[in-house]
Structure 1
Amino acid sequence: MDSMEKKSQAKWRTGSQQRNYARKLMQALRHVRQNTMAAASPSRAVREAADRALAVAAKGRTRWSRAILSSRGGLSVVRKPRKFRARCSIRSRTPNKLRGAATRNTELNGRVRILGRLVPGCRKMSFPTILDEARDYIAALEMQVMAMRAVAELLSAPAALPSAVSGSGF
């Protein structure tokens, strides 16, 4: 791990950052709970609220957090239909020695383009910028998963408590 990777992971692993996110997440979930009757999909509303809370916890310091905060409905994405294009074979024009390097380069560019689509706000960024943003976004998502698991455990604990009490003879 290099120092940048440790820095982004350490930032999201601090207790204060986790408490800050947990507080914002609980506020967002309360808001969603109050407005669930109006929402078409409660699970989508929870996911968007959790993502907005994560972006607020990042304080807009990253491209992905600014992209989430600037979008109207959280992470709602409107996808354009793909256009079909004619594919021409470069094999006939490319010598054998260059064919392998060209294939590797196009594969890498394709993977970078896909990564740029996965990280909010990074569609048309340079390769190093996409990697930095992806590193920070993944660390933030790991923290989000930990917080969501803790919330799920808290919510499922009261349901398990009455069955344990009734089984003990009380």
Structure 2
Amino acid sequence: MASSSISNAEANTNQPRETKFEKLTKRGRENQAKEVTKMEKTRWTSDAEQQNYSVKLVEALSQRSHGNSSPAAEVSHVAVRETADRLLAVAAKGRTRWSRSIVMSRLRLKLNPNKHKKQKKPKVAGDMRSKKPVAVAKKIPAVERKVRLLGRLVPGCRKLSFPNLLGEATDYIAALEMQVRAMTVLSGLLTGTESLAPQFDPLGSGRS
């Protein structure tokens, strides 16, 4: 018994002890992780963030409308969708994979606008290599098929592991919900539907 206690004491003395600086650093990392978790929970839900997004969306759409060759030309729904998604990704400040994917895809499209036009390959008679057998497709478990589908729906998340994919999807859904709320408010203000307008004015006119 005495020999075992001595060996345990020697083992404890041989273990490196944390210095005061290491303890403070570890505590700082833990506090930072708590703050990040708190921020993740409240992101996309504050009125201030929604208002800021709405103001930037109005400004971007206004600039895009003024940039058209025809003064009477209206911004198409595709342009509105692209602008709204781009601003949503910018609002995420690069903290998520889906936001970085949207920003990079818009940048690549801007640098090479003809790249998105896919060239159709000529079909070869009897060539069935591109089609997967039905039997092979049925072998994939239902859960794995749903995970793959979710990975295709969230930008830039096709090859993520399931836990990381869930985190990205949760943040992306919350961001889309905020986007819908902001665009609903703007639609209500433009059409004069007061019931759709919240307590704040996203156009910045100061109405309460």
Cα distance change on mapping 1:88 and 1:143 into 2, 3 Å:
closer
- More helix per residue: 1
Q: Does 1:51 align with 2:98?
A: no
Q: Distance in 1 between matches of 2:177 and 2:58?
A: 17
Q: Which amino acid aligns with 1:155?
A: L
1:29 pairs with 2:61: yes
Are the structure 2 counterparts of residues 89 and 45 from structure 1 closer, same or farther at C-alpha, using a change threshold of 3 Å?
closer
Distance 1:65 1:89, change over 3 A: closer
1:128 match: 163
Q: CA 1:89–1:54 in 2, change beyond 3 Å: closer, same or farther?
A: closer
Percent identity of the aligned residues? 46
Give 1:61's aligned residue: 95
> Paired residue for 1:20, among 29, 52, 62?
52
Larger Cα-atom Rg: 2
Aligned-partner Cα distance in 2 for 1:20–1:36: 25
**Structure 2 unaligned blocks of 5 or more:** 1-33, 121-128, 194-208
Runs of 4+ deviating beyond 3 Å? 3-9, 35-41, 76-82, 87-90
Do structure 1's residue 149 and structure 2's residue 184 form an aligned pair? Answer: yes
- After superposition, residues 71-150 of structure 1 pair within 5 angstroms as 71-72=105-106, 73=109, 83-88=130-135, 106-150=141-185
**In structure 2, distance between residues paired with 1:68 and 1:49:** 11
Report deviation, 1:68: 0.7
How far is the alpha carbon of 1:149 from its aligned partner? 0.6
* Bigger mean CA deviation after superposition, 142-151 or 6-15: 6-15
TM-score by length of 2: 0.57
Contact 1:8/1:135, CA 8 A, preserved across alignment: no
State the SS of the aligned residue for 2:95: coil
The structural deviation recorded for 1:154 is 1.1
Q: Indicate if the aligned counterparts of 1:9 and 1:136 stay in contact, CA closer than 8 A.
A: no
Whole-angstrom distance in 2 between the partners of 1:122 and 1:25 = 25
**Aligned to 2:104, which of 64, 70, 73?**
70
Could you tell me the TM-score, scaled by structure 1's length? 0.69
1:34–1:11 Cα change, 3 Å: same
- Give the 3-state SS of the residue equivalent to 1:152 in structure 2: helix
Count of residue pairs the alignment pairs up: 143
Q: What is the one-letter code of the residue matched to 1:85?
A: K
Task: Report the Cα distance in structure 1 between the residues aligned to 2:136 and 2:192, rounded to whole angstroms.
Answer: 60
Cα separation, 2, equivalents of 1:78 and 1:119: 22
Shift in CA distance, 20/40, structure 1 to aligned 2, threshold 3 Å: closer
- Unaligned regions of 5+ residues in structure 1, if any? 91-101, 159-170
CA distance in 2, matches of 1:8, 1:153: 29
> Can you list the C-alpha shifts for 1:99-153, whole angstroms capped at 9, x where unaligned?
xxx96x7111111111011011101111111110010000000000000011111
